[in-house]
C-alpha cells in the first residue's frame, strides 16, 4: 500500500502574534513544521511527502530537511481547502491512501498515524478525534450577549484532530466538491458532503494544535522536557530449536545443525531488540505491530521488523542511544559472528555499530535452553529524544 502525507503549512498563522508564520517558529531546536514533517517521514508506512507552503515561501526561513522519502513542495491557496486541493494535484498516481495533517500539530504520534492509515484504507475516510470531556453548550449571540439555548450530550461530541486519511478516490471527490464552490473547514467535512461516511479513530490528547502564543509557550516547555528525558525498555524472546531450519541471529546465518522455529525467520536477537525499542518508546510489543497472523511476516527477515521499530520510535520523537543483547545458546558459539551481527543491527536501526553490544552465554545445561532444545535472548534499549540527540 502506498501512502502519501500532505503537510498543510500554507497559512499565515497570524493569531500567534509573531512576525513569522507560526509553522516556521522554533520548537526545541527545530521548527514546528520540521517536527510535523519528521513524524510522517519516520513512519514506516508513509511513502511520499507533500508540503504546502504559503505563496511567499521563497522568503520564509524554511528549507525542506533531509528526508527518507521524496518531498514535493506546493504553494498554498486562499483557503485551507484550496491548499489541500493544490497538494492533491501533486499526489503520486500510485497512492492508495492520502493523509492530510496540519503542520501546527507537531506532537502527532506514530500510533495515531498508523490507526488513521488503517481506518482510511478499510472505510474510505477516517479522522483522529478525542471525546469531549466538558459539558457542551450551544449559544445564541445577540450583540455582545450570549445565551445558552441547548446543552448537548457530550458523549456525542468529538474534537477533530489531524491526520485525516482518505482513500484516493474519496479525497478526489472531496476536492472536486470544494472546487465547485462548497466551503468547509476540513476535508472530512467535504467528504461527508460528497456522500462518504467518515469514521472516527482514537486520537491523542497530546496531539495539540499550536494556535496562540500561550499554545506555543506550552509546546516549548513540553519539547524542552522531552529533550531532557531518556527512556529504557527491555525485550525477551525464546524459540524452540528444530532440525531443518537455519539459525539466523541478527540477520546472520550461523552454521548449525538446528535452527529456530517461528513464523518469520525466528531471529531471537532482532525480536528481543525490537521489543526493547518499542517498549522504551511506549509503543507496545512486537506482536502488536507484526502479528504472526499476518502473512506479510511469514519467513520475513527480522531485520526489517527491527528497522520498522526504530522508525516508529523516531516518529514518536526518539532515537536509539544504545542497545545491549545477551544471547543464551548452548551451541554453537557465536563469538566469531558478533561483529557482523552488530553491524547489521546497527544498519537497521540507523546508529553506529559501537552503540550495539551482543554477548553470548550458555545456560550451563539447565532447562530447555541448557539441553539445546531452545534459544533465548534478552535485550535492553536506551532511547533519547531526537532534539536532545542533535545538540
Residue 266 and residue 120 share a domain: no
Residue 29 and residue 90 share a domain: yes
- Considering its fold, how many domains does the chain have in total? 2
281 burial via Cβ count (<10 Å: 0-12, 13-18, 19+): buried
What is the predicted pLDDT for the residue at 173?
Answer: 97
Residue 30 predicted with pLDDT over 90: no
Strand-pair partners of 4: 48, 98
Interior/surface letters 225-253, b for 16+ CB within 10 angstroms, e for the rest: ebbeeebebebebbbebeeebebbbbbbe
Smallest CA-to-CA distance from 90 within 122, 56, 53 is with 53
Given 200, 227, 254, the domain boundary residue is 227
Beta-carbon contacts of 237 under 8 Å, excluding residues fewer than 6 positions away, are 268, 271, 272, 275, 376, 377
Given 199, 227, 255, the domain boundary residue is 227
Question: Is residue 66 very low, low, confident or very high in pLDDT (cuts 50, 70, 90)?
Answer: low
Quickly list H helices, the chain: 32-41, 80-89, 110-123, 168-179, 187-193, 213-227, 268-280, 286-289, 302-315, 338-349, 367-370, 386-389
Residue 235 and residue 223 share a domain: no
What is the predicted pLDDT for the residue at 56?
Answer: 67
Residue 42 and residue 183 share a domain: yes
Rounded CA separation 340/336 (Å): 9
Asked if residues 187 and 127 have their Cβ atoms less than 8 Å apart, the reply is no
Question: Is residue 365 very low, low, confident or very high in pLDDT (cuts 50, 70, 90)?
Answer: very high
The backbone region for 161, taken as left when phi is positive above 0, alpha when psi lies in -120 to 50, beta otherwise, is beta
Asked if residues 284 and 278 have their Cβ atoms less than 8 Å apart, the reply is yes
Residue 209 and residue 267 share a domain: no
Asked if residues 214 and 197 have their Cβ atoms less than 8 Å apart, the reply is no
Residue 267 predicted with pLDDT over 90: yes
Residue 352 and residue 221 share a domain: no
- Average pLDDT value for residue range 41-56: 91
Given 174, 207, 227, the domain boundary residue is 227
pLDDT tens-digit readout, 86-138? 999 999 999 999 999 999 999 999 999 999 999 999 999 999 999 998 899 99
Residue 172 and residue 123 share a domain: yes
Question: Is residue 225 very low, low, confident or very high in pLDDT (cuts 50, 70, 90)?
Answer: low
What is the predicted pLDDT for the residue at 62?
Answer: 52
User: Which one has a higher pLDDT value, 142 or 12?
Assistant: 142
> How does the average pLDDT of the chain come out, rounded?
90
Q: What CATH number corresponds to the domain at position 176?
A: 3.90.550.10
| C-beta atoms surrounding 348 within 10 Å | 25
What is the predicted pLDDT for the residue at 55?
Answer: 81
Most confidently predicted of 70-79, 167-176, 279-288, 313-322: 167-176
Domain of residue 239, residue span:
230-389
Rounded CA separation 226/243 (Å): 48
Residue 38 and residue 124 share a domain: yes
- Average pLDDT value for residue range 322-338: 96
**Of 62-71, 248-257, 305-314, 362-371, which gets the smallest average pLDDT?**
62-71
Residue 212 and residue 240 share a domain: no
DSSP symbol at 21: -
Residue 275 and residue 168 share a domain: no
Residue 236 and residue 223 share a domain: no
DSSP-assigned states of every residue in 216-277: HHHHHHHHHHHHT-EEEEEEEEEEEEEETS-EEETTEEEP-SEEE--SS---HHHHHHHHHH
Strand-pair partners of 334: none
Residue 387 predicted with pLDDT over 70: no
Question: Is residue 59 very low, low, confident or very high in pLDDT (cuts 50, 70, 90)?
Answer: very low
Alpha-carbon separation of residue 281 from 84, 182, 378 (angstroms): 32, 42, 17
Q: What CATH number corresponds to the domain at position 354?
A: 3.30.1330.50
Residue 147 and residue 14 share a domain: yes
Indicate the pairing of strand 48-53 with strand 71-75. Answer: parallel
Q: What percent of the residues of the chain are helix, what percent strand, and what percent coil, each to the nearest 5? A: 35, 30, 35
Amino acid at each position: 500500500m502506498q501512502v502519501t502525507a500532505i503537510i498543510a503549512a500554507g497559512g499565515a498563522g497570524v493569531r500567534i502574534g509573531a512576525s513569522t508564520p507560526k509553522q516556521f517558529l522554533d520548537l526545541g531546536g527545530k521548527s514546528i513544521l520540521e517536527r510535523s514533517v519528521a513524524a510522517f517521514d519516520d513512519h514506516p508506512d508513509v511513502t511520499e511527502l507533500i508540503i504546502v507552503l504559503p505563496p511567499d515561501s521563497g522568503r520564509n526561513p524554511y528549507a525542506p530537511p533531509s528526508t527518507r522519502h521524496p518531498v514535493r513542495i506546493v504553494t498554498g491557496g486562499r483557503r485551507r481547502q484550496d491548499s489541500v486541493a493544490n497538494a492533491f494535484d501533486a499526489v503520486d498516481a500510485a497512492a492508495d491512501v492520502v493523509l492530510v495533517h496540519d503542520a501546527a500539530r507537531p506532537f502527532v504520534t506514530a500510533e495515531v498515524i498508523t490507526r488513521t492509515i488503517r481506518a482510511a484504507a478499510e472505510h474510505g475516510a477516517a479522522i483522529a478525534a478525542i471525546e469531549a470531556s466538558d459539558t457542551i453548550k450551544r449559544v445564541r449571540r445577540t450583540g455582545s450577549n450570549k445565551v445558552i439555548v441547548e446543552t448537548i450530550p457530550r458523549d456525542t461530541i468529538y474534537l477533530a484532530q489531524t491526520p485525516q486519511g482518505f482513500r484516493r478516490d474519496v479525497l478526489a471527490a472531496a476536492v472536486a466538491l470544494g472546487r465547485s464552490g462548497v466551503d468547509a473547514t476540513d476535508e472530512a467535512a467535504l467528504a461527508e458532503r460528497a456522500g462518504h461516511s467518515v469514521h472516527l479513530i482514537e486520537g491523542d490528547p497530546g496531539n495539540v494544535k499550536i494556535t496562540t502564543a500561550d499554545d506555543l509557550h506550552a509546546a516549548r516547555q513540553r519539547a524542552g522536557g522531552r529533550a531532557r528525558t531518556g527512556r529504557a525498555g527491555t525485550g525477551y524472546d525464546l524459540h524452540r530449536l528444530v532440525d531443518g531450519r537455519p539459525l539466523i541471529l541478527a540477520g546472520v546465518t550461523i552454521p548449525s545443525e538446528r535452527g529456530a522455529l517461528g513464523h518469520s525467520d525466528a531471529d531471537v536477537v532482532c525480536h528481543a531488540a525490537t521489543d526493547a525499542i518499542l517498549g522504551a518508546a511506549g509503543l507496545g510489543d512486537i506482536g502488536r505491530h507484526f502479528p504472526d497472523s499476518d502473512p506479510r511476516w511469514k519467513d520475513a527477515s527480522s531485520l526489517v521488523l527491527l528497522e520498522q521499530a526504530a522508525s516508529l520510535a523516531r516518529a514518536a520523537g526518539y532515537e536509539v542511544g544504545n542497545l545491549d543483547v545477551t544471547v543464551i545458546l548452548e551451541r554453537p558459539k557465536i563469538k566469531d559472528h558478533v561483529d557482523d551481527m552488530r553491524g547489521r543491527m546497527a544498519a537497521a536501526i540507523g546508529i553506529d555499530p559501537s552503540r550495539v553490544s551482543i554477548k553470548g552465554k550458555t545456560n550451563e545445561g539447565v532447562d530447555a535452553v541448557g539441553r539445546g532444545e531452545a534459544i533465548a535472548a534478552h535485550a535492553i534499549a536506551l532511547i533519547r529524544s531526537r532534539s536532545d540527540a542533535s545538540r
